[in-house]
Each structure stands twice: as structure tokens, then as C-alpha cells.
Chain A
Amino acid sequence: MAMQIVMDTTGDTRHHFDPNDAEAVAKAERRFRKLTGAGFIAAERTSAGQSRRVTSFNPSAEETLFFPRLVGG
């Protein structure tokens, strides 16, 4: 199962989907586009403690994290 994690006021919300299920993948891609379109930053976990920024949907990513855009404090 792949997972999209969205940071929010509850800590985070996790959306699991089966990468072999075309409908689930399409839904995950729509979520990716909606979040990044709203300014969220997406990052994939590549290995323990390592991640990389992504700007397009990767259906084979096991874990993608979304957090709101950064602003000066």
C-alpha cells in the first residue's frame, strides 16, 4: 500500500491507496494535483532520514508527504 500524508491541524491525515488499483491511483493523483495546486510542497521519503522534493505525481512512491508552503516567521 502506498500512502499520502497531509500535514494539518490534527497532526496529519493519511490516505492509503493500492498502486495496482487504477481508480485508486487516479484518485491519489487528483489529490496530489489539488494539494500542490493549493501551494502544498510534496516530498517523497527515499530512505531512512532522506527525502526528495517532487513536483509531479509518482504512482510508485511508497510515502509522499505534503506540507503547506513556507513563509518567513
Chain B
Amino acid sequence: MKRLLRGVEKLSRLLALHRLYRLVHDKDTPEARGRNLLREWLSAEQRRQFDAFGYFDVIGSISGKQYRIHFGMSANVQELGNDGRPRMGWCFVPSGDLVPADVMLAQKIALETSEAEALVVAKRFPAAIPGMRGHLDRPFWSRV
């Protein structure tokens, strides 16, 4: 049984490495192109956050509130309180079939340049959805 478990662990590590290799080396996939575009448009601090954790923070253009945009395609924006903890979730996305990094870039630009317009169409959701917070808090690379 222990040997079987060790084998499964080894296989899962190999699969994770394979996924990471593909992410780094497949430069011409839609996902890689989207990620490159996003990184080009992020500030140095946002890029550092994104590379380390898979999310980055933006400041709303009207309210000055802080939002955290997580890697994802929906229900991935959290409004943070003064204590840095999530207060509320906001769901708004560009229409159409885009890769996650493109969705995140559109959300960043919307919040930083026209926050009110974005929030008018957005749907609210509780900041802490059971089973979601843990997922969002894990580093980006461990979730790929």
C-alpha cells in the first residue's frame, strides 16, 4: 500500500512538472499569449504578486478601494477591506471566449480606469465561499 502511495505521489509530481514545463515553454498557446500580454500591462509590483501568488491587487479609480484579482475566468475579484481581508466578491467578465489572463487584464483596466462602469454590471457574491478561499490562497504554480 505504501509503495502504491509513493508511486501515485511520484506520478503526480511528474504530471505537475510536465504542466509547468508546458506553461513555460509553450509560448504560442492562447494561454501563454494571454499571460505574456497580462504581464506586459502589469506594474512591477503587480507582476511580482502575480508570479508569486497568481493574483494581483488594483486600486479602484473612483473609490480608491483595493481589489484583488485572482487567476480565473469568473467570480475571481475580491474587494479588500482596510485590514487587507476580503469583504466581498465581484463577478464581471469580458464577453466572449477569452483565456483567464485576458479576463484578468480586462478586469484590471476596468477597475483602474472606470470602476463604476465595471461594478454596475458586476454581480456581488460573498467574499468567502466555502471551499474557494483555500483554492484562491494557494500559490499560482501549485494550482496549474
A interface residue numbers (CB < 8 A to B): 5, 7-12, 39, 41, 43, 45, 48-53, 65, 67-73
Contacts and interface: CB of A to CB of B under 8 A. Distances in A.
B122 A67 contact: no
A7 B30 CA distance: 10
A38 B95 CA distance: 12
B93 A7 contact: no
Contacts of B123: 72-73
Contacts of B88: none
Contact of B74 (A10, A12, A53, A73): A73
Contacts of A69: 94-95
Chain B interface mostly: helix
Given A5-B37, A12-B33, A51-B112, A70 B102 contact: no
Given A67-B106, A72-B123, A53 B113 contact: yes
Interface of B: 29-34, 36-37, 41-46, 74-75, 91-99, 101-102, 105-106, 109-110, 112-114, 117-118, 121-123
Contacts of A41: 94, 106, 109-110
Given A11-B37, A43-B109, A72-B123, A67 B94 contact: yes
